[in-house]
Every structure is written in structure tokens, then in C-alpha cells.
Amino acid sequence: MTELREGAAAADPVGTEEQSNGKSAEVSALHDLFAGGIAGSASVVVGHPFDTIKVRMQTNTSIASGGGVKSASPLAMARSLFSGMGSPLSAAAAVNAIIFASYGSLTRLWESIEGDRCKHVDRHGLILDGAVYIEDDDHRNIQDVQSSQMHEPPRQDIVKVFSCGSGAGALQAFVICPMEHVKCRLQVSSAYKGPVDAAVSIVRQYGVTRGLFRGMGVTLWRETPAFGLYFATYDTIKDRVESFLREQEESHPIPAHLHAWSASALAGGLSGALTWFVVYPFDVIKSRIQTSPLEKNMQRSMLTTASDIIREHGAGHMFRGLGVTLVRAFPVNAIIFPVYEWVLLQLGDG
């Protein structure tokens, strides 16, 4: 992410250097946690109907039936589109908290290691006031290497953002896997009364590992690269959008907060859609695994499941529901960033 206050998972969740010690840092971390939870909940409300349609398309469940709802009236269909929303909504705060904490911790660790390494560029160089000075072999002349002549990403190193984002994605997969398993069951079946009943029933009959955490492997395969790509793409797009808006300010002046929020929303929407496009086949496989009969107990491997899907429905089925997913991805990811910013402003931490 480019800045702390303009991303779903900030690079420094505990605030600026002035807030890095004492009570201020603790309050800032709580603000990040609360704002992230609200933003995540808002994204669930906006995106869940699209997600229900996607899962039913992936698993060949009738959209009109609503996974057991026989009436095709508009009200019944509307209700069915929000089936299973309690599980992701209740876990939204926890998921965002993990993303914030893990991404921020990994970023600070990376920067700490990088800072120690950069104290001495090499035996002929040193860093002074942010500029690199290199001595020649005779140690007589010192050249100032201008930043414009060096290859430097706009604000954060893309490799760092991708790596820390991937690490955060891998950690939060352990929370999102059981949550999405319960959600998928509720979206395609009316056998459970709600998310709690579904989770308790699955654990009681099939255990935690083979039951509740079914699909953990493919979830890791989806979440790890997805978050790395998401953060790196967001950072890049947002920087480009901000540069463009700055160039247009003279002829089309806009308020500063609209400037920042529009850049965040557009970058979030585009990066979310692009990320889903890349990792979507893993999501199809995950949906098939997490909606397959639990009575078999032993889940099929990711490769075996993919082969089964292609053999039964053709390779195109690996992208079934991609259209509605991309339509969903833009508003869901675009709303996270402005809501996150707005909540922080209300908390007085803007």
C-alpha cells in the first residue's frame, strides 16, 4: 500500500513515527482495527448477493431455487441472495484485523532488515540524507547519484509490497477457510438453520481438520498470491491515479478529501477485479471441494478436482461465474478504502 491511511491493509498500522511509542500507538492500532472491521463489513453487504450467484453458478445450483427455496417470487429470490451472509459478516472484523496486523508487522520487519542493510551500500558507498554517494576507487571523489537516475518505485518497493501482502494472505487463510466453507454450504443447501448450526454440525460429524477446514490447501493457493498481487497492483494504480489528478487540479480543482478517496476507490476497484481474474480458477476448485458431500469425508485433491471439473464440464467451466465475480469485485474493493478513510476521520485519526 502507498500510505497508512489509504489502504485496506496499511503499511504501518500503529501510526506515524511520532505515535510509535506509548498510548498514541495503541489508540492508532485500535482505530485501524475498528475502521478495518467496518470497511470489511460494508464490503460484505455490497458483495454478498453477487457472491451467492457466483457460488451457485460454480456448483450448478439453481439460482431461482435459492438452494432449496422453491418460491421464485422476487422477495424469496432477494432473501436467497443473502443466504449465508451472517458467517462472512461476523468474521469480517477478524479477517481485516489479521490482514492489518500481519501486513503491518511484515512490512516493519522488512523495513527494519532493509534499513540495517542500507546503512552501508557497499564498501565504496554510503547513504546521507536519503541520497546515495559513491566514492571512486581512489577514494578522492564523491558522486551524488540523483534519484531520477536510479530505478526506484514511486513510494514502496513492489517486491516488498507483494511479499508482505502474500504473507498476510497466507495467515488470514486460516480464518477465511472455515468461514467460506460454512458460507458455501449455506448458499447451496437449506439443511442448516444458520452459520452457527452449520459449523457445529460439521465439526460434530466430521471434525475440525477434515470437516470445518475442508479446502484449506486450495484456499492457501488462492489467498497467498491474491493478496500479494492485490496490494502491489493497488499501490501502482493509486500512484498513477494520484499523479493524473494532480495534473488536472489546475483546470479542474477538487477538494483534497475527494482527491484521495477517488484515487483509493478507483485503485481498489481495479486491483480487486484484476486479482480475481488471475486467481479465479482456484476459487472454482475451492467451491467444488467445499460443496462436495461431506459424507465421503476424504476430500479430493486440488488437481484431481480440477481434472474432474474439466472432464465433466470442459475447461471453460474453470471460469464459470467470472463475469459476476468481476462485476462484484469492483464495488466491493472500491468501497473498502473510502469507508476505511471515513471511519478513521470520524475517530479523529485522519
- In this prediction the pTM is 0.70
Is CATH 1.50.40.10 the classification given to domain 26-60+82-114+157-347?
A: yes
Instruction: Check if the beta carbon of residue 329 is closer than 8 Å to that of residue 276.
Output: yes
Higher pLDDT, 78 or 133: 78
Q: How many DSSP H helices and E strands does the chain contain?
A: 9, 3
Taking the C-alpha atoms of residue 44 and residue 159, their distance in angstroms, rounded to an integer, is 29
Instruction: Check if the beta carbon of residue 92 is closer than 8 Å to that of residue 32.
Output: no
From the list 290, 281, 272, the residue with the least C-alpha distance to 319 is: 281
- Listed range (186-190, 214-218, 249-253, 335-339) with the worst mean pLDDT: 249-253
Separation in Å, CA 250 to CA 23, 67, 243, 244 = 41, 54, 13, 12
Residues 107-146 pLDDT 10s: 888 988 877 666 554 444 444 344 444 444 444 444 444 4
Q: Where are the domains of the chain?
A: 26-60+82-114+157-347
Residues 213-259 pLDDT 10s: 999 999 999 999 999 999 899 889 988 888 887 777 766 666 666 67
Q: What is the largest CA-CA distance in the chain?
A: 86
Q: At what angle do helices 158-188 and 216-248 cross, to 10 degrees?
A: 120
**pLDDT grade, residue 149 (50/70/90)?**
very low
Percent residues over pLDDT 90 in the chain: 24
